[in-house]
Amino acid sequence: MRPTVLCFSGLDPSGGAGLQADIEAIGQSGAHAAIACTALTIQNSQQVFGFEATSKELLLAQANAVVGDLPIKAIKSGMLGTTENIAALAEFLAEHPDYLYVLDPVLVANSGGSLGNQETLVKAFVELIPHATVITPNTVELRALTGENDLEKATTKLFTMGAKAVLVKGGHEDTPEYIRNALYINNNGQAELISETKCPRLDGEYHGSGCSLASFIAGRLAMGDALNVAVNYAEAWLFGVLKNADSPVKGGQKIPKRF
Ligand code: PLP
């Protein structure tokens, strides 16, 4: 059977982000996606109206049901919704230290809507950071996680918090022509840049671009790629799916065409 990525992620009814993005991206990476659902959200391509988080018992029961049943090689987490769910995932990862783990530290939706209490989520994410093979924050999330405005200082701080590798995504930075992503690894507590990509900035807003990128990386890691290879492959793949994205009828964020 194909290597499996078990995703801890929420349902987005628009199908742009969340667990549907994970399933489609991981399918395209060549791996198989399994899901432990963290929350049911109410949203469309324009805004988040609310969500109901899964209890930690139900979340762990879903995950444990497929452990041993499927050849899980990697874990990917996106929206976790509550600090209880973050603690449950930390517990699960501690029981499975051999799993690779991609941590997408989702705090808010790209449309700006709340996917949990940002202040408490930021504190709880500290528990997950040391487990991650790679963390994939955008610069808003990086600043929120570390309390540092300067990006270099913020990245270094994540390493002092136990990170092994960090992909800093530059989509929210003021670079009208391009988006710069930078992959760092931990070199004795210092951030060592191992890959930098600049891709042309596409017009418009996209729903689920972060989920898609992190999941494709997890899929390629599960398939055996080295981290920098998985990241560069995912970046090239994402550019294509965003370029071909569908535009919703009322002008909401575009929905990536992942296949
Ligand atoms: N997970 C869920 C369930 C979501 O609804 C969203 C955003 O709406 C995200 C994750 C993060 O999406 P993005 O990849 O656009 O940052």
Contact 102, 221 (CB under 8 A): yes
Residue 69 CB contacts under 8 Å (≥ 6 apart), including other chains: none
**Interval 149-161 mean pLDDT:** 96
For residues 213-241, b (16+ Cβ closer than 10 Å) or e, as one string?
bbbbbbbbbbbebebeebbbbbbebbeeb
For ligand 1, atom 1: residue with the closest CA: 18
Percentage of the chain lying above the pLDDT 90 cut: 95
Q: What is the pLDDT of residues 66-125, one digit of tens each?
A: 999 999 999 999 999 999 999 999 999 999 999 999 999 999 888 888 999 999 999 999
Indicate the length of the chain as a whole number.
259
Pocket test of ligand 1: the residue of 8, 12, 104 to mutate, having most ligand atoms within 8 Å of its CB, is 12
Q: Tell me how far apart the alpha carbons of residues 222 and 213 are, in angstroms, rounded to a whole number.
A: 14
- The alpha carbon of 3 is separated from its chain's Cα centroid by a whole number of angstroms, namely 19
109 lines ligand 1 (CB under 6 A): yes
For ligand 1, atom 13: residue with the closest CA: 208
**Interval 157-180 mean pLDDT:** 96
Q: What is the pLDDT of residues 211-235, one digit of tens each?
A: 999 999 999 999 999 999 999 999 9
256 lines ligand 1 (CB under 6 A): no
pLDDT bin (cut points 50, 70, 90) of residue 148 is very high
Helix, coil or strand: residue 29: helix
